[in-house]
Structure 1
Amino acid sequence: MSALAILMIVFAYLLGSISSAVIMCKIFGLDDPRLRGSGNPGATNVYRLGGPIPAGMTLLFDVLKGMIPVWSGYLLGLPPIILGLVAIAACLGHIYPLFFKFQGGKAVATALGAMFPVATEMALLLIVTWGLVFWMSRVSSLAALVTVALSPLYAWLIKPQYTIPAIMLAALIIWRHRTNIKRLWLGTEVSFRTSTKNRKK
């Protein structure tokens, strides 16, 4: 592995370690998302705590944490398998953030951001898939799981050389959602509709 590849992997992990949810909650005077709501420092939980503006900003920065290092690596000519490792490093930074006591989130937005540089068509398919599943189910975790599960297929259809990196990312995100999968199977996963009603009470 080249020095450039190692540098980009380290950069991706450090960038991923910046917890957008915690920072946005501090800026907007909200409770620590690791200690309130679902306990997950991600955009969905920030929405529960503070509404659409801090949640939208959290989502944007989480996406950029995955997009910036992968896009940089892509422009620097790193091969697909190394780009996959860069993407995983960004997600691991989000899941186990060095700067926030290794208490991170599920890395869905960061993973999707990491997939965006592959192709515009793939980015649009991922967004549409998430939106449709969420609109039908109102369950954020289900939308995330379906989207990342389909991402290797989208990669294979659009840019086959990125299929293996997409599989690597999808496996990581699905593993991270193992408790959500159990709740979905048992029918106890909280829907966005229910959590929003609870926030308004």
Structure 2
Amino acid sequence: MHKDSSPDVVVVAPDPGWTVQAEAVAEELYDLLRPLALHVEHIGSTAVPGMAAKPVLDLQVSVRALEEVEGAFTRPLAERGFVLAPYRHDHVPAGSDDDPARWTKRLWIRQGHQGLDVNLHVRRAGSPNERLALLFRDWLRAHPEAVPAYARFKQVLAQAVPDLATYADVKDPVVDLVVAVAEPWARTTGWRPSTTMTARPATHRR
């Protein structure tokens, strides 16, 4: 396969500073979007210690209803450089017969802003895709021995594919395999989705 000299997908070595940046952005967005935003979480590979990743922060905002937040979030997010993307559904894991309508979301993207680019995934609280994002992160955090292999896979994949869409399509089945292992772990350990920021009354704003 021909590879362009400047590929669309770049996976870089882990940076401990990602966590600090993500926490700062998450706190800013939580204060901006509450009380509709119930939780804001750092998810994805940059949330896993020692994981190579695209230098893009993935954050997840949990809400009660997607329909009510799209209009409410668009203007304040636009003022901070976020653009609403057309993607409204997450990948349903292979082998699942779940209704794809339960895997809906809203996605805002910020690029070329101060600091790292940000993907802001807004998902319904209690939905399977909200849960999967946290399970995937927490399983990898609990199994650091699995991190190097997954990181290496992503690095090789980034060099082999021509664009981000292909990268995501190839990566999804591998994520499905991780989830297939993570689900028994969740049942055995009693894992439950945990959140670091919970909606507080608006009168408690700083």
Name the TM-score, length of structure 2 as normaliser.
0.31
Name the TM-score, length of structure 1 as normaliser.
0.32
Which structure has greater helix proportion? 1
